[in-house]
Amino acid sequence: MKIWFGSVAKLAAVALAMTSGMAMAPSAFAATKGSTPPPKQTLVALGDSITFGYNLQDTKNNSIPSSLAYPALIGATDQFNVSNLGIPDMTSGELATVIKQPNFTRAIQGASVVTLDIGSNDLLQWASDNGLLNDATATTAPTLTLAQEAEVFSIIDAFGQNFKQIVAYIRAQTSAPIVAYNLYNPFPSQSPLSAVDEELESYENAAIQQVATASKNVVVADAYDAFNGNQWTYVRLAEEDVHPNATGQAALANIGEQALQSLQSKMKTPKKAAGVTHLLVGNIAQTGGALTGSLNGRSVKLHLPADALNQATEADLTSQAFQPKNLPKNEQFFAEYAVNFASSATLKKAYTLTITDKKIPKKAKVYQMQGNGLKQVKSITVKKGQLSITQKASGDFVILVPKAKKKG
């Protein structure tokens, strides 16, 4: 849903004073007073910038998921570990592709609960490209041509197929409950853009409900109903932004917990656990650039040279702590880092991923996850405290180090 930010002009010049009218319900899983808290399980949140918590105050310029976003709020209340894998700009087609990457698949397999919020960008990127969201000074809603209507219904049909595939893939990896959020209308009724969004997203919401009804242990969290009439309270409209504010994220957490109540008995400890998946994201221009930050306690830098890409792309780095199978003799797991780009991006030149940690030894080796196996990566540079990987495609990389020699 990031496409809306910067694409929508001022919606109104007069602030409206409204209250939410929505009481926060008690936690679905919170321990009663005096009881022993249950062991922590893992919530894996899949989605776009809404899940990520885009433009909230603690995202470090939208590079890390927000602790004020609904996945973290549910986790804090219900004692879940949280893997927030919301990727800004993500469409349903891109999510259907990325969840099949080893790092995302492991996270899903280790989930106790999965939340899913996707679809806003499918239509809104198209609407923005067609200029339908640009003129907020208009007094009437824009009219679609016959050709545009045909494009819209093609996009809606593709979304329905993608959403069905996403849910089916998640269900093939885990029996954990899935909370599927439907889409809210961010525009207040006074805006002509409200009618456009209302019509477009109603079709996607119908597809979400249809898939949820036909699937096992999937329930819909009704974001549309929660936000309807509350846009000035729940959305960052005063900042000319249609993402949820902190109050809106709390509302999303609340309806997520309410939805989970009906599936509480379905929660199980996963057979496979990947632990918490940490996320770092950023935009890389076609002219090149770098994504830097701290990921899972280590400094990382993803660098792409000029003209390495056919287009600008959202890049994401993830890191997990897990135990790979069939490790080479005399080597042990040290760290895992995965690199993903938008599915439409093509790499024409190699990127470099550099990981800095004083514990990295000179004899560290790198392997790429391929199915259930590991293939050694030769294009690396290692010195004590730093390791660089050079590649021309997305990859899931495992760093191994020599086993410590037994004393005596």
Return residue ranges of the chain for CATH 3.40.50.1110.
2-266
The CATH architecture assigned to 2-266 reads 3-Layer(aba) Sandwich (3.40)
* Spatial CA neighbour of 393 closest among 101, 107, 106: 101
Q: How far apart are CA 116 and CA 74, in angstroms?
A: 14
Structure tokens given for 8: 């929508």
Residue positions counted in the chain: 408
Beta bridge partners of 388: 354, 381
Mean pLDDT, range 109-120, rounded to an integer: 96
- Residue 294 and residue 122: Cα distance in Å, rounded? 31
59: Cβ contacts below 8 Å, ≥ 6 apart? 52, 53, 65, 66
Cα–Cα distance between 249 and 351 in angstroms, integer? 35
In 10 A of CB 269, how many CB atoms? 11
Read off the pLDDT of each residue in 102-119 and give the average, rounded to a whole number: 96
Q: 119-123, 207-211, 343-347 — which one is most confidently predicted on average?
A: 207-211
pLDDT for residue 257: 95
CA–CA dist 338, 345 (Å, integer): 16
Residues 333-389: pLDDT tens digits? 999 999 999 888 999 999 999 999 999 999 999 999 987 789 999 999 999 999 999
Q: pLDDT tens digit string along 212-259?
A: 999 999 999 999 999 999 999 999 999 988 899 999 999 999 999 999
Is residue 255 helix, strand or coil?
Answer: helix
Domain 278-402: state its class: mainly beta
Contact 182, 115 (CB under 8 A): no
Do residues 391 and 379 lie in contact, with contact meaning Cβ atoms separated by under 8 Å? yes
Query: Given this model, what pLDDT does residue 134 score?
Result: 63
For residue 97, the model assigns a pLDDT of 95
- Rounded CA-CA distance 357/360 in Å is 6
Residues of the chain with CATH 2.60.220.30: 278-402
Residue 33: pLDDT above 50? Answer: no
pLDDT one-digit tens code per residue, 46-76? 999 999 999 999 999 999 999 999 999 999 9
Which residue, among 225, 218, 223, 219, has the nearest Cα to 70 in the 3D structure?
A: 223
Confidence of residue 2 (pLDDT cuts 50, 70, 90): very low
